[in-house]
A and B are shown apart, each in its own frame.
Chain A
């Protein structure tokens, strides 16, 4: 496979119920990509505690037709702002157990500064713009999570 066809066939966004392999995703970001020296990845997992309560699991809902559009806009904005190469965003939906992966953001660039910044930017805007909702199952029962002011402020800080 030559590089052009690899890039053309490389989907930047995946919304999926099934798990993903972190190592495979890093390999795909690096494969036939010798222009970029930096690879920055973030992955988010289901933790066993929130606001002092024991968490037993999460349920992830989304707005199917809108999610990919929003994520594509965020990635496009990052590409305009920084000199980056490949981008991959994976977000899982459905029922997730403790320790399972929820989200993956991978960015490559020639030098590390652009990859670090773009990765954080994509993650910050995914948090406040992409139409996903988490329902938490704790020792007290089920409840929808509330959006955090700190996440909103973090995203707003990029426009300062």
Chain B
């Protein structure tokens, strides 16, 4: 399984702080998004937002980054701390 977590505005839009998806046929960050959208049609609109950022195991990555079972994949909007 792949652990997926959401933060801030995205967490509220999806109404969910996180979930797990099967790692079968999911090899990249882009495919994680695709699998999430297939599981829940209401999420597709929010997950296709181009400004969303992604971290895999706490490292910032792009949509082509490889993922595997056991990874933690986080999606979130641009950061606004400080």
Contact = CB atoms under 8 A, between A and B. Distances in A.
B82 A65 contact: no
Contacts of A62: 81
B7 interface: yes
Contacts of B5: 63
A66 B77 CA distance: 15
Interface stretch (A26-34, A76-84, A129-137): A129-137
Given A61-B7, A61-B8, A63-B74, A146 B80 contact: yes
Interface residues of A, number: 26
Among B55, B58, B60: residue with most chain A CB under 10 A: B58
B43 interface: no
B82 A133 contact: no
A145 B55 CA distance: 20
13 contacts: A44-B82, A60-B81, A62-B81, A63-B7, A63-B58, A66-B55, A123-B82, A133-B79, A144-B80, A145-B80, A146-B78, A147-B78, A147-B80
Interface of A: 44, 60-63, 65-66, 69, 91, 102-103, 123, 126-135, 144-147
Interface of B: 5, 7-9, 12, 55, 58, 60, 74, 76-82
